[in-house]
Structure 1
Amino acid sequence: MNLTTPTIRRRVAPVARQVAAIVGGGVIGGGWAARFLLMGWDVRVFDPDPEASRKINEVLANARRSLPGLSDVALPAEGTLSFHDTMSAAVAGVDWVQESVPERLDIKHKVYQSIQAHCPPDAVIGSSTSGFKPSQLQEGAARPAQIVVTHPFNPVYLLPLIELVPSAVTDPATLDKAKKILTDIGMYPLHVRAEIDAHIADRFLEAVWREALWLIKDGIATTEEIDNAIRYGFGLRWAQMGLFETYRIAGGEAGMRHFIEQFGPCLEWPWTKLMDVPELTDELIDQVADQSDAQSGQYSIRDLERARDNNLVTILRGLKAKDWGAGALLNAQDRRIDGAVTLPDDLSQPVVTVSRAVPLDWTDYNGHMNEARYLQAFGDATDRMMALVGCDADYIATGGSFFTAETHIRHLDEVHAGARIRIETQVLLGAGKKMHLFHRMFEDDRELATGEHMLIHVSLETRRASEPAPQVAEAMARVAKAHAALPVPQGAGKAVGVR
């Protein structure tokens, strides 16, 4: 950023929306639809199930409630969702086709014949298959190089991993396009470089599943005890470091080599029955089902989905705060969406400094946004205004910044998780060492709260008040001068008191 002259954001012509077709609208297809839609794509759905619209809209309602809370900036405007009676109408002219039909190769081959007869030759055709290799999917296809495996994890709208598997005949341009699109919608394309049944992640899941079945069959553990072993222990470790990095830490200062030397011999001990799979007899199936009913049968599927989403959002936002693992991906996605931080051309109105959804973990025991989060939101608005006048990370690194000297918040109305809030900021004073801001928080046109903040520019070397650099002072004064023509906002200068 040029610190001598504030950068002005130029208006550009609107870009045509990209379009994705979802073929198969079950749990996975619905998750794909939600992910694309909430990232600004238009989505067309083909599924002969008469209940497809209801099911997808229920999944979409959960996604709208949870996904925006992972982002600290406004997501793109939601795309348009449409349902189509024919596959040809759904896939015509699209950029991406996601196939999520049942795991039967004969069905998938018929679907690809119909898709390729009507979709553009340069569209990516991705399959959600959890087991088939791309070369199997490509058999008999008109354009085999167009088809790749893009295996997601449920819920697709929250979990970022996509196993992207090409075959030897996959077009490299198709692979590159798939990687870019998946990254642009906030996902992590894991390029599986060699074809293998069940790809990578499902092979781990299958190994754990087999061992779990033996533990139940042998009467060692119940379904709930096994789930507790995962969710209270290694599951949390795996969520942020994976397998090898976790074990590297277990090796202490000597690292991975020491870990292998210490624990390697265990591989020869009969700890597991990994290669010996129990027969799924009626008795074992009943045992697993009965235990699962006892564990979770009191909850509806929607209750369980909401509990799952609440937990995932909290975990992912925690990782985001540490810029680690999946949290680092979310931060990178925010930066892609947010773009450059520049003053608007029109300063005749208050500046929108925050536009975001209220995350699930911002609510309290009363079911509305915790009072501390109002301060966080207004603090974010203050940080944004600082950056807009040139007091950004680069400037702060030179030794100058603003400290907040006084804050006054008025709580006017309730706001709940998932609500889209907007903060408009008016500069009441921007001269010398002082910057006086008045923030107003809205949901649509409903005013929720106000925050008044007095900031003092300081030298980070002396920790005392100091004059800001000329470019910051000039930008601050320019905004204050423009905002001086606005009415003094109601509540400005108020103090806490008894009426």
Structure 2
Amino acid sequence: MKTATIVGGGVIGGGWAARFLLNGWDVRVFDPDPEAERKMGEVLDNARRAMPGMSDTALPEEGALSFHDSLSEAVEGAAWIQESVPERLELKQKVYQSLQEHCDPAAVIGSSTSGFKPSELQAGAARPEQIVVTHPFNPVYLLPLIEVVPSDRNTPEFVGRVKEILAGLGMYPLHVRKEIDAHIADRFLEAVWREALWLVKDGIATTEEIDEAIRMGFGIRWAQMGLFDTYRVAGGEAGMKHFMAQFGPALQWPWTRLMDVPEFNDELVDLIAGQSDAQSGHLDIRDMERIRDDNLVAMMRALKGQDWGAGALMNAHDARLAAGAGMVRQAADIADPSQPIVTVRRAVPVDWLDYNGHMNESRYLQAFSDASDRLMEIIGCDQDYIATGGSYFTAETHIRNIDEARLGARIEVRTRVLAAEGKKMHIWHEMHCADRLLATGEQVLIHVSLETRRPSPPSDAIASNLAMIAQAQSALPMPEGVGRHVGAPR
């Protein structure tokens, strides 16, 4: 089991702990704050609620979490040490000095600093090559971006290992090629923040109006396409050159007060804080975090459906998780074809719940549909095959809802091929949560020519794979409920 140490258990440290813990790492925490365990526990509760909903493959079993009174005990044997202490350079350097006396020299020491350069952090360290900036974004357990900022003291091999570990956590390591104060993303944020302060100070907009301008407009647009691609699209068929020719002169216009910063005094703080309290002070901070998390999950799951941006990254992470969990991808990988095949293994996310607080009936169908799609891939009816003009259409489905599935439940669908005759495939799904049977799904699918939209024989390879599975499973007893009609006596 891999071990990560979190030094500093605040909001960022708690987010890091959740990201490691829910990806199967053991996590040790060092923070002298007597409230650290409670605070981190609340962050972890929200992460456990939200993070599994990001994945369509079940996350690994959660690692072990422990809190330690001494830094030496916390860092012993850790492969990754994440420092998230307050933004004071002298404090960070003191922490590195202490932990390097006890940690593995091969361990990664990452800093969550949002502003300091790695060479500043490394100054005076016993092993400067071990320290690197790994700057996350809150909430760390949901947002994938990590700015990896090395100095010339870090070897390319070390940086490569850092990026590999972060990618294994489902994150996007952005390699910042040159040291610069505040790295890349925070420099954008600082620019927007300064302009927003002026807009509020000058009475042009309230804090709520500025937030609405972002979240109702360009914030969503930036989330899926970034800055330059957004402007390229804005240029129409002529592209970026046309956009720049049209709007480039605006750079000379007095649209912003970017370099003219308002005095950061009590009056400005009171103005901003007062408007912010009026805007959302009626909500508890944990409620706001849950609202934020649910929105992010919904947006990023939508991007998964388009295999775009952060969604494409999540799909790739799902594929790695599925491979690591031994999920079958092709017929040749089936260890024992005489037994039902696990075609779905995942957690129930927030957006699968209905008004009764359990999984909506449409999601049972979605889970069984996903299971059918996986079986199609296994027998060879994958995207490449479909592109040649053949596929299976579902002709009939019968679902029996037997038990409830609630938020976060780890469900598993096991699939059997009851018959494979010519163009027809008759399959049976059972959905389980641990030892509970939640539902069954019986389906008949017909192979169809996508050109004529009429039934047609599948390829020889698909027919052979189907026949092999059906024959191997023919010795199993017929499942209870096969062929039942709606309303049939139980």
The structural deviation recorded for 1:94 is 1.7
Partner residue, 2:459: 469
Q: Does 1:211 align with 2:195?
A: yes
Q: Does 1:38 align with 2:28?
A: no
How far apart, in 1, do the equivalents of 2:265 and 2:252 lie? 30
The structural deviation recorded for 1:160 is 0.5
Q: Does 1:363 align with 2:346?
A: no
Equivalent residue letter for 1:403: F
Return the structure number with greater relative CO, CA threshold 8 A, min gap 6.
1
Equivalent residue letter for 1:341: R
The structural deviation recorded for 1:206 is 0.9
Equivalent residue letter for 1:162: I
How far apart, in 1, do the equivalents of 2:67 and 2:248 lie? 54
Q: Is this contact kept in 2: 1:431–1:476, CA < 8 A?
A: no
What TM-score do you get using the length of structure 1 for normalisation? 0.92
Q: Is this contact kept in 2: 1:435–1:456, CA < 8 A?
A: yes
How far apart, in 2, do the equivalents of 1:191 and 1:272 lie? 30
How far apart, in 1, do the equivalents of 2:254 and 2:458 lie? 69
Partner residue, 1:278: 262
The structural deviation recorded for 1:487 is 3.0
The structural deviation recorded for 1:399 is 4.1
Counting only pairs closer than 5 Å after superposition, residues 20-419 of structure 1 correspond to structure 2 as 20-339=4-323, 341-342=329-330, 343-419=333-409
The structural deviation recorded for 1:371 is 2.3
Which sections of structure 1, spanning at least 5 residues, go unmatched?
1-16
Report the more deviating stretch, 121-130 or 353-362: 353-362
Q: Is this contact kept in 2: 1:122–1:174, CA < 8 A?
A: no
Report the secondary structure of 1:213's partner residue. helix
How far apart, in 1, do the equivalents of 2:124 and 2:400 lie? 66
How far apart, in 1, do the equivalents of 2:386 and 2:269 lie? 62
Equivalent residue letter for 1:417: L
Partner residue, 1:489: 479
String of CA shifts for 1:310-358, please: whole Å, max 9, x gaps.
0000110111111111111111111222226145323443222110012
Report the secondary structure of 2:32's partner residue. coil
The structural deviation recorded for 1:93 is 1.7
Q: Is this contact kept in 2: 1:34–1:157, CA < 8 A?
A: yes
How far apart, in 2, do the equivalents of 1:457 and 1:272 lie? 61
Distance 1:124 1:384, change over 3 A: same
Q: Does 1:458 align with 2:455?
A: no
How far apart, in 2, do the equivalents of 1:53 and 1:260 lie? 52
How far apart, in 2, do the equivalents of 1:491 and 1:50 lie? 56
The structural deviation recorded for 1:128 is 0.0
How far apart, in 2, do the equivalents of 1:353 and 1:416 lie? 20
Report the more deviating stretch, 484-493 or 353-362: 484-493
Report the secondary structure of 2:391's partner residue. strand
Q: Is this contact kept in 2: 1:146–1:171, CA < 8 A?
A: no
Runs of 4+ in 1 over 4 A off after TM superposition: none
Counting only pairs closer than 5 Å after superposition, residues 412-431 of structure 1 correspond to structure 2 as 412-431=402-421
How far apart, in 2, do the equivalents of 1:371 and 1:380 lie? 14
Partner residue, 1:12: none
Report the more deviating stretch, 295-304 or 281-290: 281-290
How far apart, in 1, do the equivalents of 2:488 and 2:103 lie? 68
Distance 1:246 1:396, change over 3 A: closer
What TM-score do you get using the length of structure 2 for normalisation? 0.94
The structural deviation recorded for 1:417 is 3.0
Report the secondary structure of 2:115's partner residue. coil
Distance 1:428 1:215, change over 3 A: same
Equivalent residue letter for 2:318: D
Which sections of structure 2, spanning at least 5 residues, go unmatched?
none
Equivalent residue letter for 1:77: E
The structural deviation recorded for 1:447 is 2.4
Report the secondary structure of 1:118's partner residue. coil
How far apart, in 2, do the equivalents of 1:31 and 1:39 lie? 12
Equivalent residue letter for 2:369: G
Report the more deviating stretch, 486-495 or 115-124: 486-495
Identity fraction in percent:
70
Report the secondary structure of 2:446's partner residue. strand
The structural deviation recorded for 1:364 is 3.0
Q: Is this contact kept in 2: 1:368–1:416, CA < 8 A?
A: yes
- CA RMSD after TM alignment: 1.8
Report the more deviating stretch, 211-220 or 128-137: 211-220
String of CA shifts for 1:11-59, please: whole Å, max 9, x gaps.
xxxxxx2221111111001111111111121211111122222222221
Equivalent residue letter for 2:114: S
The structural deviation recorded for 1:372 is 2.1
One of 456, 459, 468 as aligned partner of 1:478 = 468
String of CA shifts for 1:31-89, please: whole Å, max 9, x gaps.
11111111121211111122222222221221122112111112222222222221111
The structural deviation recorded for 1:444 is 2.1
